[in-house]
Amino acid sequence: MNIESREVTYRQVIEQVFFKDESELIIKTGWAEGQEADLDVTYEWVGEEPEWAKGKSIPSLLEESDPSQESMSYSELAELTHATQVERFNWCSCEEQETFPYADCPVKTICEDCDAVAVITIQPYGEGKMAVYNCPNCGESYDTNYDGAGL
Ligand SMILES: [Zn+2]
Ligand SMILES: [Zn+2]
């Protein structure tokens, strides 16, 4: 049978979102031809829905997961710490151990006693701060004269 006519009646855009923890979300946005204002949006996780996404609406989660969306207020930004950054974004740029955006970002170092990789975190100590060394072999030790040097 010969074709009399062909037309596009529906268009769809598929976007893949890759999160730092390797979760992958597929966003399908479709609309009837000429009806771009009336979008059908569906979200699908590839595999299991990650724990941190459970109970949250995906649009709000996308907004808070994207640091380029400056949706945070200045006071929220000022209060961010390594701990809250990791809680919010599941990731902190200190993981590469090149930049340490927050005072409490853990710094890796070599333990002076056993040469294992230890982690230094800075914690408040009276009016000032102290370094807490955490060595997998030697346990915790404290340095109230920490000068900021890591690995
Ligand atoms: Zn950090
Ligand atoms: Zn040690």
pTM of the full structure? 0.43
**Ion ligand 2 — residues with CB < 5 Å:** 111, 113-114, 116, 135, 137-138
Cβ neighbours around 65 below 10 Å, total: 21
CA 100 – ligand 1 centroid, Å: 6
The model's pLDDT over 71-115, given as tens digits with 9 standing for 90+, comes to 556 666 667 888 888 888 888 888 888 888 887 888 898 998 999
Beta bridge partners of residue 26, listed in sequence order = 16, 44
* Per-position b or e across 10-28, b if 16+ CB within 10 A of its CB: eeeeeeebebeeebebebe
Instruction: State the Cα–Cα distance between residues 96 and 86, nearest whole angstrom.
Output: 14
CA 125 – ligand 2 centroid, Å: 23
CA 84 – ligand 1 centroid, Å: 9
The CA-atom distances, in angstroms, between 99 and each of 38, 86, 102 are: 44, 15, 9
Q: What pLDDT band is residue 68 in, cutting at 50, 70 and 90?
A: low
CA 106 – ligand 1 centroid, Å: 6
CA 98 – ligand 1 centroid, Å: 10
